[in-house]
A and B are shown apart, each in its own frame.
Chain A
Amino acid sequence: MNQYDAIVIGAGHNGLTNGAYLAKAGLKVAVLERNPYIGGATVSRELHKGWWYSNCSYVSSLLRPEITRDLELPRHGLQVVSFGGGATFMRNGDHFGNYSDHDRHYREMARHSKRDANAYDRYAADTSLQTKLIRPYLMRTPPDPTSMKPRDLRDLLEFARSFMGLGEEKLLDTIKFWTASVGDYLHEYFETDVIKAHMAGSGIIGTALGVYSPGTAYVLLHHYMGDVDGNVGAWGFARGGMGAIADSLSKAFQSYGGEIICDANVDEIIVKNGKAAGVALKDGTEYKAPIVVSNLDPKRTFLDITNPADLPKDVLKKARNFKIRGSSGKLNIALDGLPVFNGLDPRNRLMAGDLHFSDSLERQERAYDDWKAGTWSKDPYLDMMIPSLTDPTMAPPGKHMMSVFVQYAPPKVEGREWTDEDKDGFEKSVIDQISNYSPNFRDLILHCETRTPREIEAEVGLTEGNIFMGELTFDQLLFNRPFPGYAQYRSPIKGMYMCSSGTHPGGGVMAAPGANAAREILADLKKSNTVPGGYADD
C-alpha cells in the first residue's frame, strides 16, 4: 500500500513524460497531482459550454518528435495539427503578413521594404545556424563544466568542437547572439519597424525582459528551435486543445502500468538519513518511494516542499536567487463569430496564424516600461490565435475560440497582490487594444477567462506565473539550469530529482526535461535506458 519505486510530483507534461519512461523501465510509478485534473499548464477545459480553451500553453511545436513517436502518443490520441502564417496589424490600417510560402513572403516583405525582403534570407540562414547549434542538446543532459567525469569531458569537448568549428567570425557572431537583445539583433538585418516588431515578439514571450534587454535574442531562438515534422520553426495546435498532450502522455504512462493520483497536494518530501523516502500530503497521507521526482519549479521544489534542514545552504541560496519573474497573462475568449480586422480579408489564411498589434519595437519597449513600473501594459504586446480556424473541435461551427497571450503583466501590482479590480483593468487593456483594430470584436464576446499571474500561480503552481518555470537567460540555461552544480536533474538529496521546465532545456511544452531526467534516474538505478536520443540534425 502506498509503496512505489518512484513518485513524481505534478502531472504536467514533464511529470507524465518522466513517469512514463520510468514505468516503461519496469518501475512502479505514481504521479501525484494537486488539482482534480491532470495537465498542469498543458490543459484544455470547457469553461463555457461548447467552447474548449487551452487555458495556459496554447501552441505545440517544441514537443520533441522523438518522444511523441517513442511513447506512441498518436496511438494514444494525440494529433498535432500545423497552422501557418500570421500578421501584425498596424495603426495606419495596413498590416504585415507572415506567409508560409517563401516567395509570397518575399513579396509581402517587399511591399514594406525591398531591402528587408532581400535581407530576410540572410537573417533566416544566420538564425538557422544558431538553432542548429542548440538543437542537438535538447534531448541530452547538459555537461557539467566543473566535472572530471568522462561523460562530461566528452560532451564538453563535443560542445566546444561544434562551436570552434564555426570559424572565428561566426563564433563571435554566436557569442554576440547569445548575449544580444532581440532588438539589436534584428537591427542588423531590417530597417522596417513593423517587420522588426513582428519578429521581435518571439524574443520577449514569457520573459520579463524588453526587446532591448540583453539576452532576448536567445529567447527568440528558443521559440524557433522546435519543429512540426522537420519544418523547423513551424507551429501547431494539439487537436482538442493542449490537454490532448497531457491526456495522451497519461495514457502512455498508464499503458506501462503507471498510476495517476489526483487531488494529492504534496506538503513535504520525506527524507530519511539523507535519502528521499517518499512524500507526505497536506491531508496527512504518505506515499513511500526511494525515488522522488519533482516536476515543480526549482523555487517550489526547494523552498516549499523540501525541509530546509535537509538541504545545504548553497542550494537554498541558489533557489532563493533563481530568476522566475511573472511577465505575462492570458485571455481565453469564446466568440460568437469571426472578428474582422482592419485591412485584412477575413478569408485570408493569415487569420489562422499568430496575430499581433505592436507595430514597432518602440511600442514593445513601452509595454515593458509599464511592467518595470509595477503595472500591466496599457498598450500590451499580444500573441493572439484563433485555433478554431484550424481545429473544429474547439468551438461550435461558425463560432470561434480565441487565445490571447498578453505581455506584460507583473507578478505584483505596484508591490501588492493583484485584486479583482486590477484583473478587470488588465482585461480591459487587452480588449480595448483588440477592439481598436477590429470593429466587431467586442460584440462577439460570449465569455472571457482572464488569467493574471495571480491566477496562473494559484491554479497551475507556476511561481509568479512564469510560463517557463524560470527565465531563459544565459545565466539560467544549459549547465546553469536551474543552477550551477545541479543541472543534471539531481538534487543534493540522494533519490530526489528534478524534471520540470526549470531544468535543461527549459520551458515550452517540450517534454525533454522529463525525458532527460528519466534517463539520469535510470542510470543511477543501473536500469537499462528507455529514453530515446535526439534525432541527428543535418
Chain B
Amino acid sequence: MSDVSRDTMLLTTPFHSRVEAMCDLNDWGNWMGYTTPNAYFDVELEYFALRSTTGVFDLSPMNKYRVTGPDAQRYLDRLITRDVSKIGVNRVGYAIWCDDNGQVMDDGTIFRLGEQDYRICSYQRADDWLAWNKLGFDVTIENESEAVVGLAVQGPTSCTVLTLLGCHDLNQLKPFGIAHYTFEGQPLMVSRTGFTGDLGYEVWIPPESAETLWDQLFQVGHDYLIKPIGSYALELARIEAGFLQANVDFMPAEEVVRVGRTRSPFELGLSWLVDFSKPLFNGRSALLKEQANGSRYRFAMLDVEGNKPAEHSFILKGDKQVGTVTSAAWCPTAKANIAYAQIEMPYGAAGDELVAEIYYQRELHWTRLLAPCKVIDAPIFKSPKRWQTPAPPH
C-alpha cells in the first residue's frame, strides 16, 4: 500500500511493489487516481502475451460495490437495464445503467455471489448514484473498492496457470461463471470474465494477499510464459475484441455538460442489454420513447481499408460528415484496421459503405487520407477459446 506518511497525489495499488519491480520501461499512467503502468517492457510483446500465452493486468482501481439485503435483486433490476433474475448464483452479467433520460452512465459487470448478494464492478465511481437509487429498497451497499483487489489473468494458457495456482477443475468453469477457492487462508474468487475477447479470468482477493498472489502466479506461470500487461496493450486487445470503454466510446451521462453529448444504449449498439419485459427501471420510459421514435446515432464498428488507424477521424457519406471515430487501432491478430464510430442516423447500418477522413503525421508532415470503410456486424477478433468448456490448455 501507499506510504501513508506521505500524501502523494496518486496512490499505488496493493500489487505495486511487484508491478514496479517488473515495469522495466518505467512508463506510468494515472488510472482512477492510481499509479498504473502504461507498459512494462514492450506494448506489442505484452499484447501478444495476451494472445499467445498469459497476460496479467492489475485491475485494483476498478470500483466495486457489494449489494446485499432482501431487495438486492429488485434494487438492481431498478438500476440496470437488463433482467437481473437471469443472472444465476455464481454467474456474472455484463450490464449498463442509465439515468432517467435513458442515457448511459457506465457499463460494468454484476457478480451474483448469493441469492440476494451481488457485487457491481464498475469503471466509474457510483457511490452517489447507488445511494439515491436505494430509496425504498431494503438493501445494504458497501464500497468494496479497497477491500477487494483483482488481477485480470487472460490468454490461452491462463486456465492452466490458474489451475496450477490451486484453482482445481477451473477448466470446467463456463464463460461468465464464478468459482471460489481458498488461497493462503484467504477467499480467492475467480470469474471467467475479461476485456480481451479470449480465454481469460479475473481473480479477486483481499489486499493483504495481493503480493503473495502475484508472486505465486508468476512462479507457477513461468513455464507457461506469463507476462505482466500494461494499459496500452489492453487497449489494443479490447478494441480488437469489440469492447466499449467509458470516457472513450461514450461519456458517462452524469458528467456531460453539453447538450446532446450523452448516448443511449441503442446508440451504443447495446440494445441487447435492455429488457422492456421487466417493470420500471431507470430510463425505461425514455428508452421506450426512443425505440418508438428512433435514435439519433448508431454505434458502428468499421473495417477501414489500408493500414492507417482512423484515430479521431471524421466519417463521411459522400461529401457529408455523418460521424466521428471514438476508438481505432490496427488489430495485430485479426490483421485488420478497425474503428468504432458514432454515426448519425440513418447511416451506419451493417454493410453500409462510408469513408474515414484520416489525418496522420510523418516527420512533421501531415497527410489527409480518405479511406473507404465498411460497417461490420461483429467484432473482428473471434477466439473459439473464449467460449470453449472445458477450457483448452493453451
Q: Quick check: A84 and B335 within 8 Å, CB to CB?
A: no
Chain A contacts of B326 at CB under 8 A?
Answer: none
A68 touches B335 (CB 8 A): yes
Question: Are the CB atoms of A81 and B51 closer together than 8 Å?
Answer: yes
Q: Check A74–B44 contact: CB distance below 8 A.
A: no
Which residue, of A74, A84, A234, has the highest number of chain B Cβ atoms within 10 A?
A74
A391 to B307: give the CA distance in the assembly, Å. 26
Residue interface bits A69-102, CB-to-B below 8 A is 1, else 0: 1000111000111111000000000000000110
Q: Mark A379-407, 1 if CB is under 8 A from B, else 0.
A: 00000000001111100011000000000
Cβ of A423 under 8 Å from chain B: no
In this complex, which of B25, B306, B334, B362 has the most chain A Cβ atoms within 10 angstroms of its Cβ?
A: B334
Residue of B nearest to A69 (CB): B335
Contacts of B85 in A (CB 8 A): none
Residues of A contacting B247 in the complex (Cβ-Cβ under 8 angstroms)? none
A82 x B332 contact (CB < 8 A): yes
Interface size on B, residues (CB 8 A): 30
Q: Are A84 and B45 in contact (CB under 8 A)?
A: yes
Known pairs A69-B335, A535-B307; A84 contacts B44 (CB<8 A): yes
- B307, A74: Cβ atoms under 8 Å? no
Q: Are B223 and A398 in contact (CB under 8 A)?
A: yes
- Tell me, rounded to whole Å, the shortest Cβ–Cβ distance linking A221 to chain B: 20
Who on chain A is nearest to B337 by CB? A69
Do residues A79 and B51 form an inter-chain contact, with CB atoms below 8 A? yes
> CB-nearest residue of chain A relative to B308?
A538
B172 touches A (CB below 8 Å): no
Proximity string of chain A (513-538) to chain B, C-beta cutoff 8 Å, 1 when within and 0 when not: 00000000000000000000001101
List, in ascending order, chain A residues with CB within 8 A of B44's CB: 82, 84, 100, 228-229, 231, 234
B203 interfacial by beta-carbon distance below 8 Å: no
B117 within 8 A of partner (CB): no
Interface: A230 (CB within 8 A): yes
Closest A residue to B332 by CB, please name it. Answer: A229
Contacts of A79 in B (CB 8 A): 51-52, 333
Residues of A within 8 A of B25 (CB): 101
Task: Let me know if A239 is at the binding interface, CB within 8 A.
Answer: yes
Among candidates B41, B223, B332, B360, residue contacting A397 with C-beta atoms closer than 8 Å = B223
Using CB atoms, name the residue of chain B closest to A78: B335
* Secondary structure type dominating chain B contacts: loop
- Complex CA–CA separation, A79 to B25 (angstroms): 26
Contacts of B394 in A (CB 8 A): 392-393
With contacts A69-B335, A228-B332 taken as known, whether A81 is within 8 angstroms of B41 at the C-beta atoms is no
In the bound complex, CA of A300 to CA of B300 (Å): 51
B154 to chain A, nearest CB (A): 14
Contact of B42 among A65, A74, A101 (CB under 8 A): A101
Report whether A81 and B52 are in contact in the complex, using a CB–CB cutoff of 8 Å: yes
Q: Decide if B225 is an interface residue (CB 8 Å cutoff).
A: yes
- Min CB distance A229 to B, Å, is 4
CB neighbors of B among A35-92 (8 A): 65, 68-69, 73-75, 79-84
Contact partner of A538 (CB less than 8 A), chosen from B51, B160, B362, B382, is: B362
In the complex, what distance in Å separates the CA atom of A81 from the CA atom of B45? Answer: 8
* Known contacts A79-B51, A392-B157, A392-B394; A100/B42 CB under 8 A: yes
Determine whether A349 belongs to the interface, using a CB cutoff of 8 Å to chain B. yes
Q: Which residues of B contact A231 (CB under 8 A)?
A: 44
Q: Which residues of B contact A392 (CB under 8 A)?
A: 52-53, 156-157, 224-225, 394
Complex alpha-carbon distance, A391 and B155, angstroms: 12
The CB with the most chain A CB atoms within 10 A, among B25, B224, B335, is that of B335
The smallest C-beta distance from A255 to any residue of chain B, in angstroms, reads 16
A228 contact set on B, CB distance < 8 A = 44, 332
Q: Which 3 A-B pairs have the closest CB atoms?
A: A397-B223, A398-B223, A229-B332
- Contact surface of A with B, Cβ cutoff 8 Å: 65, 68-69, 73-75, 79-84, 100-101, 228-231, 234, 236, 239, 349, 389-393, 397-398, 535-536, 538
22 A-B pairs with C-beta separation under 8 A:
A65-B307, A74-B334, A74-B335, A75-B382, A80-B333, A82-B332, A84-B42, A84-B45, A100-B42, A101-B25, A228-B44, A231-B44, A236-B48, A239-B52, A349-B45, A390-B52, A392-B52, A392-B53, A392-B394, A397-B223, A535-B307, A538-B308
Residues of B within 8 A of A (CB): 25, 41-42, 44-45, 48, 51-53, 156-157, 160, 223-225, 306-308, 330, 332-336, 360, 362, 367, 381-382, 394
Instruction: Given contacts A75-B382, A100-B44, A538-B360, list 10 more A-B pairs with CB under 8 A.
Output: A65-B307, A74-B334, A80-B333, A82-B44, A82-B48, A101-B25, A230-B330, A231-B44, A392-B52, A538-B362
